[in-house]
C-alpha cells in the first residue's frame, strides 16, 4: 500500500511539472489517503503483533 502511495505521489509531481492542475489534486489526494491508511494499519500491526503467546 505504501508503494501505491508513492506511485500516486510521483504522478502528482510529474503532473505538477507539466501544469495539469486537476490531475495533481486528484493524485496527491489519493497518495495522501493511501499513506495515512498505511500508517494506521502499520500501527495496528505493531500493537496486535506484540501479543505474548502463553
Distance, in Å, from the CA atom of 1 to the CA atom of 39, rounded to the nearest integer, reads 10
Nearest to 25 by CA among 36, 9, 4, 7: 9
What pTM, to 2 d.p., does this model score?
A: 0.61
Q: What is the pLDDT of residue 1?
A: 66
Q: Which three cell numbers stand for residue 28?
A: 496527491
Share of the chain above pLDDT 70, in %: 91
CB contact set of 4 (below 8 Å; sequence gap of 6+): 34
Q: In which residue ranges of the chain is pLDDT below 50?
A: none
Amino acid at each position: 500500500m505504501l508503494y501505491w502511495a508513492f506511485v500516486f505521489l510521483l504522478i502528482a509531481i510529474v503532473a505538477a511539472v507539466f501544469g495539469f492542475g486537476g490531475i495533481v489534486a486528484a493524485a496527491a489526494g489519493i497518495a495522501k489517503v493511501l499513506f495515512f491508511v498505511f500508517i494506521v494499519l502499520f500501527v495496528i500491526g505493531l500493537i496486535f503483533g506484540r501479543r505474548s503467546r502463553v
